[in-house]
Amino acid sequence: MNISKMKRGSMISPKQEYLHRLGKCLLLFFPVKQVLEILSDYQEYVSAGKEEESMEHMVKQWGTPGHVLRALLEESPEAKRYFYKWLAFWGMSMLLALTVLLFVSQDIFLILIPVFVFGFLHGQGQLIIENHLLIKTDCSKRIFAAYVFLTLIVVLLEARIQYLVKSPDRVSSHIGSIPMGFVIDGEYVFFQFIILLMIVWMVKKAAAVSIRYLPDVAYALGVMLFTVNVRNCLHSMNILMTEEVQMEFLFPVIYCGIGLVIAAAFKLYLSLMGRRRLWTHR
C-alpha cells in the first residue's frame, strides 16, 4: 500500500489517511465507540513513535488496514457476531422493501429507503471518525458542482416546457423523421437516468465515505421528482391550458424546492453537529 500518496485534493496527512481507512474498515465490525478507542490506541502509538520510526516503517510492521482488521478480529470473536447481525438486519430491510415494491406499490423510491437509512447510520459513524481524526475531506467542490449541474438540468427542462407551452406554433412536429414528442420524452428519460445514477452514487458515497453526501441525495430526489412530474405534464399537453393545468406546472418546481430546503437543513444540522462534537468517546 503506497501510503505516502495523499488523496487527490485532500488535506490529510498519510498517517491520518491510514487511520481514516482503518476506521472505515473497523466500522463494519465494531460499534463506533470501540472504533474510536482502537483509533486512539493507534494514534497514541503513532505519536509516541514519531521520533524513532517513520510511518512507512510502521505500516510495514502493521500491514494494510485490512491486515490490522484481521488481527483484531482474531482477538475479538464478538466482532464477527456484530457484523452478521448488521448484515442480517439490512438484508431483511432490503428484502422487505423489494417485496413491498413487487407486490404492493410500484414506487421505485421505496427500495431507496433502506439504502438511505443505512447510509445515514453508517455515514454517522464515518462523520464521528472524521471529527475524531480532525479530517476534512475536500468534497465541497464536488458537492457544489453536483448542485450546479442538477440546477442547470432543472432550469433547462423548465425553459423547454415554457417554450413549448407559450410558443407551440414555433415548435416543429418532427426532427427529421422522429416525432418531436418522442424527442422531448427521450430528453426527459435521459435526464432522469442521469439523476438516478447520481442518486445511487451519492447514497453509496454517503454509506462508504461520509454522511455529508446525504443532503445532496435529498436535493437530487427533488430534482428527480421534478422531471417525473414534468413528463406527466407533457403527456397531457393536448388539453386546454386551464388554471389547474398551469398550477400543475408549478408543482414540479415546488418538489425541487422542497428537496433543496431539506438538503440545506440537513447540511446545517451536520455543521452544527460537527462544531459541537456531540459524539465523542471522552
Q: In terms of CB distance, is 32 or 150 closer to another protein?
A: 32
Tell which one of 55, 72, 237, 258 touches another protein (CB under 8 A). 72
Q: How many residues bind another protein (CB under 8 A)?
A: 19
CB 83 within 8 A of CB 28: yes
Can residue 75 be called a binding residue for another protein (CB under 8 A)? yes
Can residue 37 be called a binding residue for another protein (CB under 8 A)? yes
Tell which one of 12, 36, 59, 68 touches another protein (CB under 8 A). 68
Q: Cell numbers at residue 122, please?
A: 453508517
Q: How far apart are CB 88 and another protein at their closest, in Å?
A: 25
Can residue 42 be called a binding residue for another protein (CB under 8 A)? yes
Can residue 84 be called a binding residue for another protein (CB under 8 A)? no
Can residue 71 be called a binding residue for another protein (CB under 8 A)? yes
Torsion sign over Cα 186, 205, 113, 81: positive
196, 199, 201, 206: CA torsion to nearest 10: -170
Three-class secondary structure of residue 178 per DSSP: strand
Q: Would you tell me how many other CB atoms lie within 10 Å of the CB of residue 54?
A: 11
Q: In terms of CB distance, is 67 or 174 closer to another protein?
A: 67
Q: How far apart are CB 47 and another protein at their closest, in Å?
A: 6
Q: How far apart are CB 51 and another protein at their closest, in Å?
A: 11
CB 165 within 8 A of CB 241: yes
Q: Where are the alpha helices (DSSP H) in the chain?
A: 14-27, 32-48, 55-62, 65-75, 77-103, 112-132, 140-166, 180-208, 214-235, 243-276
Site residues for another protein per CB under 8 A: 37-38, 40-42, 44-45, 47-49, 61-63, 68, 71-72, 74-76
